[in-house]
């Protein structure tokens, strides 16, 4: 063996395994030092408690590596990788070495290290040897520069020139104290020159503060300095030449790169949209206030109509002719219908304006309560209501109860004449093909179905049934105001879901409710 190996722990403890050492001089040492690169033999440094590799200690190195780092005492031997190269991105470097060591397989990789003010690139190799690694580095800085400055740069420039994003490279200008005092634009695409206007070509000759001293007061210069110093990218908005730009600054090799996107029209559209939204919100608030006030104000004259018609019906019935009694009954019937309409209109307007906190809601409990409330109607119709296992969803228990009550009452109301109603309520996870077009496919939903065997309807009227006051059947045969399904739609949409329906005349109807999975 050529090496004298010592097992070292992170706490400094050494465990020696004696091996023959590499001669400091002689033929082998001369060959070792003559290698045109940086070569060393390293052993792992283990963390005592976990035996994890945390560093590498140099045991042998050629003269070229010693001259690179100028270690204390003139030799890297006995020093660790972290001690000699404190600024090296050791996470990636150490991980490559550890992989080679643990897997007993040679690896190669590139890394960069700043020597003085210059960034130097190396091609490194790590090859397992006994209980350590042979590390070799070759300087490839010139090859890297040749690639960046070669034919590829013209291709990149052509691509950038067709871009609508303004891109420019600015080199740092230092003073004698190595402080950043200015920036010089060295390269820019066509869009950047267009954005700069009259200063376009001049920016490639003169420095930033020479042409635009106001950049210091506006804070733009300070941002560039910050990015060049810290390496942390920054994004901001900049008003320039009566346009608004979204600017991103990132550190480059000897300066910074700026990219700017013209967002002037986008911002104008955004302001217009915000104004339209504000106007729409105000309009909705006015409509809700009108519906609420109108509903309350209509209640009082309606109660008087009902009261006086009741007096006519009860106290003066014997004095009324058959035609007058019929008119009184018509007044009472119309008043009751008007009262139902006002009640539903009030509920609809409240639903639009109120936002309640959402909590976990057990739909089986909600449906059981609804079935209990409607038990008289269910018994009269001799209906069967079959309820499967339903999920727990996040929402308003009160609103979801409105939803299920309206759907179940709707199924009982439009039952077939010659068969007892059967209502089936089921649930399952919705598939992508189940979802309506307005729901995003990236989210997960429950599909809750309320299916009946009632009179059904022609699906060409499908678009009307969720609109307020729309009725497909004769009000003389089926009571109601035409708001119930509109309320259902608003409830579902307020929960981030959707409602759909399928129906076949004289066969039945299936309402499909999509609610987000909690």
Quick: pLDDT tens for 385-400.
Answer: 999 999 999 998 888 9
Comparison of pLDDT for 231 and 291, the residue scoring more: 231
Per-residue pLDDT tens for 465-490? 887 766 665 555 556 566 788 888 98
CATH number of 274-353: 1.10.287
Per CATH, which fold does 359-516 belong to? Heat Shock Protein 90 (3.30.565)
Give the percent of the chain with pLDDT over 70.
82
For position 444, what pLDDT does the model report? 92
For position 4, what pLDDT does the model report? 36
For position 17, what pLDDT does the model report? 38
Cα–Cα distance measured from residue 468 to residue 344, given in angstroms and rounded to the nearest whole number: 10
Comparison of pLDDT for 324 and 209, the residue scoring more: 209
**Whether residue 18 has pLDDT greater than 70:** no
Instruction: Please answer whether residues 167 and 191 qualify as being in contact, where contact means their C-beta atoms are separated by less than 8 angstroms.
Output: yes
Residues 6+ apart with CB under 8 A from 414: 452, 454, 455, 456, 473, 478, 509
Cα–Cα distance measured from residue 228 to residue 233, given in angstroms and rounded to the nearest whole number: 9
* Confidence tier at 448 by pLDDT (50, 70, 90): very high
Angle, CA 38 vertex, CA 32 and CA 42 arms, to 5°: 80
Mean pLDDT value of segment 337-358: 68
Per CATH, which fold does 150-262 belong to? Beta-Lactamase (3.30.450)
**Whether residue 286 has pLDDT greater than 80:** no
* Confidence tier at 30 by pLDDT (50, 70, 90): low
pTM for this model (two decimals): 0.43
DSSP 427-454: EEEPPGGGS-TTS-TTS-EEEEEEEE-S
For position 221, what pLDDT does the model report? 92
Residue 401 neighbours by CB distance under 10 Å: 19
Per CATH, which fold does 5-144 belong to? Beta-Lactamase (3.30.450)
Q: Do domains 5-144 and 150-262 have the same CATH topology?
A: yes
For position 141, what pLDDT does the model report? 81
Would you list the domain boundaries of the chain? Answer: 5-144, 150-262, 274-353, 359-516
Residues 6+ apart with CB under 8 A from 3: 19, 20, 21, 22, 41, 59, 60, 129, 130, 132
Mean pLDDT value of segment 296-313: 78
For position 152, what pLDDT does the model report? 46
For position 479, what pLDDT does the model report? 60
């Amino acid at each position: 063996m050529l090496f004298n190996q010592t097992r070292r722990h992170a706490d400094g403890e050494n465990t020696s395994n004696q091996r023959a050492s590499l001669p400091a001089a002689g033929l082998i040492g001369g060959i070792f030092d003559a290698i045109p690169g940086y070569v060393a033999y390293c052993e792992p440094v283990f963390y005592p408690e976990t035996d994890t590799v945390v560093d590498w200690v140099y045991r042998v190195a050629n003269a070229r590596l010693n001259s690179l780092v100028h270690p204390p005492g003139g030799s890297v031997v006995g020093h660790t990788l972290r001690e000699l190269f404190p600024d090296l991105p050791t996470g990636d470097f150490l991980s490559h070495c550890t992989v080679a060591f643990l897997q007993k397989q040679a690896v190669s990789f590139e890394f960069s290290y700043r020597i003085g003010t210059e960034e130097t690139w190396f091609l490194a190799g790590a090859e397992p040897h006994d209980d350590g690694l042979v590390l070799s580095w070759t300087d490839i800085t010139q090859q890297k520069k040749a690639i960046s400055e070669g034919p590829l740069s013209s291709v990149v420039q052509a691509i950038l020139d067709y871009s609508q994003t303004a891109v420019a490279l600015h080199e740092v200008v230092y003073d004698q104290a190595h402080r950043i005092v200015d920036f010089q634009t060295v390269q820019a695409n066509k869009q950047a020159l267009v954005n700069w206007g009259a200063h376009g070509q001049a920016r490639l000759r003169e420095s930033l503060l020479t042409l635009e001293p106001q950049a210091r007061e506006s804070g733009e210069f300070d941002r560039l300095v910050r990015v060049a110093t810290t390496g942390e990218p920054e994004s901001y908005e900049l008003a320039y030449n009566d346009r608004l730009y979204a600017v991103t600054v990132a550190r480059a090799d000897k300066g910074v790169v700026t990219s700017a996107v013209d967002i002037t029209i986008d911002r104008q559209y955004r302001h217009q949209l915000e104004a339209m939204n504000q106007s729409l919100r105000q309009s909705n608030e006015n409509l809700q206030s009108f519906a609420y006030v109108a509903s309350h104000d209509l209640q009082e004259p309606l109660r008087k109509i009902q009261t006086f018609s009741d007096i006519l019906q009860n106290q003066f019935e014997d004095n009324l002719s058959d035609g007058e009694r019929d008119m009184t009954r018509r007044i009472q019937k119309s008043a009751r219908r008007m009262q139902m309409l006002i009640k539903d209109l009030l509920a609809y307007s409240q639903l639009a304006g109120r936002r309640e906190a959402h909590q976990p809601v057990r739909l089986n409990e909600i449906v059981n309560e609804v079935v209990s409330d409607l038990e008289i109607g269910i018994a009269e119709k001799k209906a069967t209501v079959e309820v499967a296992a339903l999920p727990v969803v996040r929402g308003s228990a009160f609103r979801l109860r409105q939803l299920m009550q309206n759907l179940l009452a709707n199924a009982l109301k439009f039952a077939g004449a010659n068969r007892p109603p059967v209502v089936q309520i089921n649930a399952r996870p919705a598939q992508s093909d189940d979802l309506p077009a307005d729901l995003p496919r990236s989210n997960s939903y429950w599909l809750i179905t309320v299916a009946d065997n009632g009179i059904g309807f022609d699906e060409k009227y499908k678009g009307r049934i969720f609109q307020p006051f729309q009725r497909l059947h004769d009000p003389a045969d089926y009571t109601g105001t035409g708001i119930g399904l509109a309320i259902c739609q608003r409830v579902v949409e307020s929960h981030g879901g959707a409602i759909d329906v399928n129906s076949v005349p004289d066969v039945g109807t299936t309402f499909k409710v999509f609610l987000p999975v909690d």
